[in-house]
Chain A
Amino acid sequence: MPSGQDIAALLPFLLLVLGALVLMLSEVFLRSGGRGYQSGLTIAFAAAAALAVPFAPQQVLFGGQAVSDGFAGFVTMVVCAGLALSALLGRGWLETRNMERGEYYALALFGASGMVLLGMATDLLLAFIAIEVMSLAVYSLAAYPRRGQRPPEAAFKYFILGSFASAILLYGSALYYGATGSTLLSAMRGGGGALLAAGLSLILVGLAFKVAAVPFHAWTPDVYEGAPTPATAFMAAGVKAAAFAFLTRGVLAMVAGTPFAVGNELGGVLGLLAVLTMVVGNLFALPQRNVKRMLAYSSIAQAGYLLVGVIAASRPESRAQGTSAVLVYLAAYAVTVIGAFSVLAVMEKREPTPDAGSADAWDVSRFAGLASRRPWLAFAMAIFMLSLAGVPPTAGFVAKLSVFQAAAGAKAWGLVVVGVLTSIMGVYYYLRVVVAMYMQPAEMEEPAAAPPTVAIAIAVAALLVVVVGFSPEPLTAWARAALLRM
C-alpha cells in the first residue's frame, strides 16, 4: 500500500497536475479580462514542483514501478525549467496573437507532469501511460492555434505517427511481459531469448520515435515547423529530456546485473541509430533556409549525440560518465533550444493566419542585419547558435565534450569520430544564422520588439548558457551527484 512517503516522493508530479487543474478552473471562475496570470501560475507551479524535488524521499515507489532518485530529480528539474521558460515565452507569443487561454498552460502542465512521471518510471506500463500523457498534451499544444491550416496539420501528423509508434511500443511491452512475466524493467535481469529480444527491439523503436532518432524522425520537421513556437520550444526541451531519461534507464537496466546477450545486439543497433541520426540530422539541416525547420533537424542531430551518451552509459567502464553526460547534455540542450526558439518567436512573421504563404515566415533572411537593429537579440541568438554548434565557451560545448569524452571512455572511437565530424558540419548551418545577423544588410521591415516576458526568457536562457559554458562544474557535479543517488 502507498504510504505518505510515496505521496511525498510523487509531489513534483502531483503539483504539476494540481497546477493544470487550477488553471482550468480559473478559466471558469475568473473573468477573461485580467489575462496574464496564467503564465504566472504556470511558472509558480513549475517552481513549486522543482522545489519539491530536494525534499522528495529517495526511494522506490509503489512496488518498484517508479523510483524517486537523483536521476529522476534531475530530469524533473530540467522539465520544470523548460516549462517555466516556455511559459514565459508563451505569455508574450500568445498575447500578441490574442489567443492566450488557460487551456494552453494547463496542457503544458499536464505534458510536464507526464514527462516528470516518465523520468521516474521503472515499469513499462507506467512508462507507456506517462508517454501518452505527455504526448497527448503535446499533440494538443501543437494544434492549439486553431487558425490556419498548418498547426492542425502538424498536430494530426504527429498524432497519427505517434500513435503508430505507441502501438509498436505497446506491442513490444506485451512481448516483454510474455518473456519475463512482468512489466518491471528490473524483470529482464538475467533474462534472454528471442522473445525478450524482439520485445526490447520494438520498445526501442517506440522510444526512438519519441526522441526523433533516424529513421523514426520524419515527423519532427513538419511538427516543429507547424506547431506554435512556444509549444515547439517546450516539445524540443521537455519531450526529449523525458524520453531520453527513460531510454537511459531502460538501457541501464538492460546491461545491469548478469551478462546479457541481447544487450550487445541492442547496443549495436543503438550505435547504428546514433550514427544515422547524427549524419542524417546534420545533412538535412544543412540546406535549410527556414530557421525553424533547421532547428527541427538540429534537434534530430542532437538526439544522435545524446544516443552516443546513452551508448557510453551502456558500457560498464563508462557507465557513470555516460549517464551524467546524457544528463548534462539534456540540461544544456533544453536551455539552449528554448532560448533559440524564443528569439525565433520574436522574429517570426506575424500574420492574421499563421499559414498563409508562410514559407518565409522563418526564413533566415529575416535575421539579416539583426545585429545592427537589435544588438542584444542578435547577441543572444549568436550565443544559442554557438551553443548548439558546440563552440566553447558555451553550455553546448560542455555537453558535447562530456558526451564525446564518455564515448571515448567506452572506446567507441567510431562514434566519437562521426560525432566530431558531424558537429563540424553543424557549425556550417548554425553559423549561417550568425552570418545573416552580423554580415548581411537588413532587408525586412524593422522587427517587432520582444515582449517583456519573452525578453526575460531569452535573457535567462542566454545567461545560463554562458554561465554553464564558463563554469560547468556545478552542473556536472550535480549530474554526477544525481547518479550516486540512483
Chain B
Amino acid sequence: MPPLLDNPAAAQSYLWAIILLPLGGALVNGLFGRRLGRGNVGLIGLAMAGGAFLLSCIAFAWVAGGTNLHFVGDWWFRVVDPSGRAPISVPWGLLVDRLSGTLLLIVTGVGFLIHLYSVGYMSHEDDAGYARFFTYLNLFIAAMLTLVMGDNLVLTFVGWEGVGLASYLLIGFWYTKEENAAAGRKAFVTNRIGDFGFLLGLFAIFSIFGTSDFGQLSARALSLQPDWVLTSGVFAGWTMRGALTFATLGLFVGAAGKSAQIPLYVWLPDAMAGPTPVSALIHAATMVTAGVYLVARTNFLFVLAPTSMAVVTIVGACTALLAAVIAFAQYDLKRVLAYSTVSQLGIMFIGVGSGAYAAGVYHLMTHAFFKACLFLGAGSVMHAMHDDLDIRNMGGLWKKMPSTAKTFLVGTLAITGIVPLSGFFSKDAILAGALFSHNAAWPAVGKIAYVIGTVAAAGTSFYMMRAFALAFVGAPRTRTAEHAHESDWTMTLPLWVLAFLSVVALVLGLPAWLVGHHYAELFQQFTNPVFGRAYKVLGIEEHSAIWPYAVAWVVALVPGWLSWQMYAGSMRGFPDRFVAAFPGFFRLVADKFRIDELYEFILLRPVRKVSQGLFLAVDRFTIEGIFVNGVPKAVYAVGDVLRGWQNGNLQRYATVIAVGAAFILWAVLAAGGY
C-alpha cells in the first residue's frame, strides 16, 4: 500500500500539497501563461485542480475512516510578551476532520468539474485572457482550500481574504464593461465591511482565549461556564456569554458579508457580471458558503451565545424570504439563480443558527451540486443564445439542447425539493431542525424561522419552475432560440456529473432507520464527531415527527405545479387545463400570450412593486448609497478639502509647520500645567 493510504502521518504531511498544487498552477499560468499556449494553460489548470481532488479524496478516506488529519505546522508568527512567553502564536497548521473533509471534496470536486467546463466555455477568449482566467480560478481554489483546511481562525481569514480577492478579480474579468467593474467594486466594498466584522470577532476571540486554534478553542469553550466573569483582557468585567456574543456576532457580520445575507447581500446578484463558470463555482457552490462554514466551524462558540444564534437564524430566515420575493420579478436567468442562491444561503443560516448543523452543512453540499449544475446550465444556454439571458426570449430549448435541458430540470427539481431529489432532504432537515430547536435567548425564533423558511421554499419552487418552463418549454420565441444548439462535451459532461450528484446526494439524507440503526440521518451521524458536543450543549434531541416532511412535500409540489401550469401549460397548448385551474381568472383572456401579461399585471405587479420597493430602499439607497458609494465619496470630499493645503506652496507648508509646532508646545505645556 502506498504510504498515503497506509499511514496517517504520511497523509497529513501531504495536506499542504492540496493547497500548493493549485497555487503552483496559478503561479505558472500567471507568469508564463501567455507563452504556454492555451492548450497547456488549460491542461495545467485542470491537472492541478484534479490533483488536488485526488489528494482530497485520500484525505477524505482517512476522516471517513475515523482518523482526523491534523498537520501541526511551524509558527507563522508569534507575538512575544516581555517575559518571553508567546501569548499569541499562529501556526501553519491544517486540519481535516469530517466537516472540513466534506467541504474539501466539494471544493476540489466541483472545482475540477468547473475547470473542465471552463475549457470549453472560455474558448472565445484570446490567449492572454484564457491564461488569466485559469490563473484566477486556480488561485481561488488554493485560497478556498486554505479557508477550509486552516486549523485556526487566522489561517481561515487568510483564505477568506484570498477568495475575496479572487472573486473580485473574476467578477471584473471582462473589465472593459464599466458595469462589471462597478460590480467588482461593489463586491469589494461590501466584503470589506464584512471583513471588519470578522477581524473584530477574531481579535475578541484572541483576547478571550489567547488562541485561535479550533481544537484548543473548542476544548476551552466547552469546559467553561457562560456566567464566568472575565478578569483580564479587553472584556474584563464582561460575562463569558457577553464576550462570546460580541465575538460571534463579529464573526457573523463577516459571514453575512461573504455569504450575502441581509444587509450585505447586494453584491451577489451584481456579481453575475463575471463569467458563468465563476458564478457557478464561487458565487453559488463554494465561496458564498464560506460564511455558513465559518458558523459551523465555530459551533462551539455559537452554542454558548444564544443571542448570536437567534440573530443568525432570523437574519437567515429574512434573507431567504426577501431574496425569494425579489427573484419573482427577475427575467435574467442568472439573476434568478443569484437571488435563489441568496435565498438558499439564508436557509442554510437558519440551519446553522438553530443548531441543525449537520442539516445546514448537508444543504450546503446539495446546494453546491444542484446550483452549480443550474448555473452551468445557464452558461450553456447563454452560449447557445449568444449571451442573451432574458428568459422571455427563450423557449423551446428542450429540443435544441437536450443535455442542458435535462440536467437543468434535475437541478430545478432538486432545488424545489421534490421527492426524491436531494434538495428535499436537506431543506426539510433544516426546517424541521429549526422547528424543533429551542433557543435560550428567544425561544420562538425557531418556529418563526420555520414559517418564514417554508414560505420562502414555496416561493423558490414557484420561481424556479417558472424559469425552467419559460426557458425550455414551448415554442422558441426568438430567432436565436430557434437556432440554438447544444454545447461541447466539456460543458455537458460536468452538467451530467453534477445532475447525477444532485440526485445521489439524497442518500446522505436518508433516515438511517431505513437501514436499520436508530433514528438519525446518515449525514448527521457522519458529522457527529464535529457537532455532537454542540448538540449536547443545546439539548437537541432526535425528533421523529413525520408531518414536517409532508408539509415540505406539499410546499415543494403545489407551487411548482401551479407555476408549471401557468407558464409551460399555456405555451405548449394546454389552455383547457389552465382555464380549469383558474376559470374566473383566465376567462377574461383569450390570447395565450396575454395570459402572461395579465398574470403579471395582477399577480406579479404588486409583488414586484414590493420587491422593487425593497430593492430601492434597501439595496440602492441604504447599501449602495451609503456604504458603496457614500463612503468613498465622503472620503474623496474630505481629501479634496484637505488637499487645498497641499498645493506646492512653500510658504504655506512653512506656516503649517509653525502652527503645528506652536500647537504641540501649547498642548504639552498646558497639559503639564506649566
- Could you tell me the distance in whole angstroms from the C-beta of B379 to the nearest C-beta in chain A? 21
Bound CA span A413–B650, Å: 36
Interface residues of B in 603-639 (CB under 8 A from A): 632, 635-636, 638-639
Q: What 0/1 pattern do residues 468 to 486 of A give for CB contact below 8 A with B?
A: 0011110010001000000
Chain B: number of interface residues, binned into ranges: 35 or more
B642 lies within 8 A of A221 (CB) = no
B32 lies within 8 A of A375 (CB) = yes
B31 lies within 8 A of A216 (CB) = no
Known: A215-B656, A420-B199, A473-B77. A194 touches B672 (CB 8 A): yes
Q: What 0/1 pattern do residues 175 to 191 of B give for CB contact below 8 A with A?
A: 11000010010001000
| B547 close to chain A: CB less than 8 A | no
- Could you tell me the distance in whole angstroms from the C-beta of B128 to the nearest C-beta in chain A? 4
B653 lies within 8 A of A321 (CB) = no
Contact for B664 among A264, A269, A375, A431, CB less than 8 A: A269
Q: Which residues of B contact A283 (CB under 8 A)?
A: 635, 638-639, 642
Q: Which residues of A contact B593 (CB under 8 A)?
A: none
| B291 close to chain A: CB less than 8 A | no
Interface residues of A in 327-357 (CB under 8 A from B): none
Bound CA span A421–B631, Å: 13
| B33 close to chain A: CB less than 8 A | yes
Bound CA span A241–B653, Å: 23
Q: Looking across the interface, which residue of chain A has its beta carbon closest to that of B88? A: A405
| B30 close to chain A: CB less than 8 A | yes
Bound CA span A408–B33, Å: 44
A393 lies within 8 A of B668 (CB) = no
| A37 close to chain B: CB less than 8 A | no
| B81 close to chain A: CB less than 8 A | yes
A197 lies within 8 A of B672 (CB) = yes
B30 lies within 8 A of A272 (CB) = no
A435 lies within 8 A of B77 (CB) = no
| B533 close to chain A: CB less than 8 A | no
Q: Looking across the interface, which residue of chain B has its beta carbon closest to that of A439? A: B175
- Could you tell me the distance in whole angstroms from the C-beta of B558 to the nearest C-beta in chain A? 46
Main secondary structure on chain A at its contact with chain B? Answer: helix
- Could you tell me the distance in whole angstroms from the C-beta of B154 to the nearest C-beta in chain A? 8
Q: Which residues of B contact A287 (CB under 8 A)?
A: 636, 639-640, 643
Please name 20 pairs of A and B residues whose Cβ atoms are closer than 8 Å in the assembled complex, sorted by A: A201-B664, A205-B660, A205-B661, A265-B668, A266-B668, A269-B667, A286-B635, A287-B640, A317-B82, A371-B30, A392-B157, A392-B158, A427-B192, A428-B632, A438-B132, A439-B169, A473-B78, A476-B77, A476-B78, A480-B80
- Could you tell me the distance in whole angstroms from the C-beta of A250 to the nearest C-beta in chain B? 14
Given contacts A201-B661, A439-B173, A441-B176, 4 further A-B contacts (CB under 8 A): A269-B667, A375-B31, A398-B77, A438-B132
- Could you tell me the distance in whole angstroms from the C-beta of A218 to the nearest C-beta in chain B? 4
Contact for A161 among B643, B654, B661, CB less than 8 A: B654
Bound CA span A427–B639, Å: 16
Contact for A168 among B32, B78, B176, B661, CB less than 8 A: B661
Known: A284-B643, A287-B639. A197 touches B669 (CB 8 A): yes
Of B31, B642, B653, the most chain A CB neighbours within 10 A belong to B653
A405 lies within 8 A of B79 (CB) = yes
Q: What 0/1 pattern do residues 318 to 351 of B give for CB contact below 8 A with A?
A: 0000000000000000000000000000000000
Q: Looking across the interface, which residue of chain B has its beta carbon closest to that of A420? A: B199
B80 lies within 8 A of A321 (CB) = yes
Q: Which residues of B contact A109 (CB under 8 A)?
A: none
Could you tell me which A residues sit within 8 Å of B by CB distance? Answer: 157, 160-161, 164-165, 168, 193-194, 197-198, 200-202, 204-205, 209, 215-216, 218-219, 221-222, 261-262, 264-266, 268-269, 272, 280, 283-284, 286-287, 317-321, 371-372, 375-376, 379, 391-393, 398, 401-402, 405, 408-409, 413, 420-421, 424-425, 427-428, 431, 435, 438-441, 470-473, 476, 480
B82 lies within 8 A of A320 (CB) = yes
Q: Which residues of B contact A321 (CB under 8 A)?
A: 79-82
B175 lies within 8 A of A441 (CB) = yes
- Could you tell me the distance in whole angstroms from the C-beta of A210 to the nearest C-beta in chain B? 12
Bound CA span A160–B75, Å: 48
- Could you tell me the distance in whole angstroms from the C-beta of B415 to the nearest C-beta in chain A? 32
Bound CA span A402–B81, Å: 11
A202 lies within 8 A of B77 (CB) = no
| B480 close to chain A: CB less than 8 A | no
A440 lies within 8 A of B30 (CB) = no
Contact for A215 among B192, B643, B650, B657, CB less than 8 A: B657
Q: Closest 10 CB pairs between A and B?
A: A194-B674, A218-B653, A215-B660, A265-B671, A372-B128, A439-B175, A205-B661, A201-B668, A265-B668, A375-B31
Bound CA span A218–B195, Å: 33
Q: What 0/1 pattern do residues 156 to 180 of B give for CB contact below 8 A with A?
A: 0110010000000100110110000
Q: Which residues of B contact A317 (CB under 8 A)?
A: 82
B79 lies within 8 A of A402 (CB) = yes
Bound CA span A12–B161, Å: 42
Bound CA span A268–B642, Å: 24
Contact for B76 among A215, A372, A439, A470, CB less than 8 A: A470
Q: Which residues of B contact A431 (CB under 8 A)?
A: 188
Bound CA span A317–B656, Å: 35
Q: Looking across the interface, which residue of chain A has its beta carbon closest to that of B84? A: A480
B672 lies within 8 A of A319 (CB) = no
A157 lies within 8 A of B653 (CB) = yes
Bound CA span A201–B667, Å: 9
Bound CA span A197–B169, Å: 53
Q: Which residues of A contact B665 (CB under 8 A)?
A: 198, 201-202
Q: Looking across the interface, which residue of chain A has its beta carbon closest to that of B657? A: A216
Known: A165-B657, A209-B657, A392-B161. A272 touches B642 (CB 8 A): no
Q: Which residues of B contact A204 (CB under 8 A)?
A: 664
| B406 close to chain A: CB less than 8 A | no
- Could you tell me the distance in whole angstroms from the C-beta of A321 to the nearest C-beta in chain B? 7
Q: Looking across the interface, which residue of chain A has its beta carbon closest to that of B129? A: A372
B32 lies within 8 A of A425 (CB) = no
| B196 close to chain A: CB less than 8 A | yes
| B541 close to chain A: CB less than 8 A | no
| B645 close to chain A: CB less than 8 A | yes
- Could you tell me the distance in whole angstroms from the C-beta of A226 to the nearest C-beta in chain B? 10
Q: Which residues of B contact A438 (CB under 8 A)?
A: 132, 169
B664 lies within 8 A of A205 (CB) = yes
Q: Which residues of B contact A401 (CB under 8 A)?
A: 77, 79
A372 lies within 8 A of B31 (CB) = no
Q: Which residues of A contact B195 (CB under 8 A)?
A: 424
| B74 close to chain A: CB less than 8 A | yes
A425 lies within 8 A of B635 (CB) = yes
Known: A266-B668, A471-B74. A319 touches B82 (CB 8 A): yes
Bound CA span A244–B672, Å: 25
A424 lies within 8 A of B79 (CB) = no
Bound CA span A436–B192, Å: 20
| B648 close to chain A: CB less than 8 A | yes
Bound CA span A402–B77, Å: 9
A284 lies within 8 A of B657 (CB) = no
A393 lies within 8 A of B81 (CB) = no
Bound CA span A221–B643, Å: 11
Q: What 0/1 pattern do residues 72 to 114 of B give for CB contact below 8 A with A?
A: 0011111111100000100000000000000000000000000
Q: Which residues of B contact A439 (CB under 8 A)?
A: 169, 172-173, 175, 181, 184
Q: Which residues of A contact B33 (CB under 8 A)?
A: 375
A280 lies within 8 A of B657 (CB) = no
Q: Which residues of A contact B656 (CB under 8 A)?
A: 215-216, 218
| B478 close to chain A: CB less than 8 A | no
Q: Which residues of B contact A398 (CB under 8 A)?
A: 77
Bound CA span A200–B34, Å: 59
A391 lies within 8 A of B161 (CB) = yes
Known: A197-B672, A321-B80. A435 touches B74 (CB 8 A): no
A471 lies within 8 A of B76 (CB) = yes
| B67 close to chain A: CB less than 8 A | no
Q: Which residues of B contact A201 (CB under 8 A)?
A: 661, 664-665, 668-669
B196 lies within 8 A of A424 (CB) = yes
| B7 close to chain A: CB less than 8 A | no
B672 lies within 8 A of A261 (CB) = yes
- Could you tell me the distance in whole angstroms from the C-beta of A435 to the nearest C-beta in chain B? 7
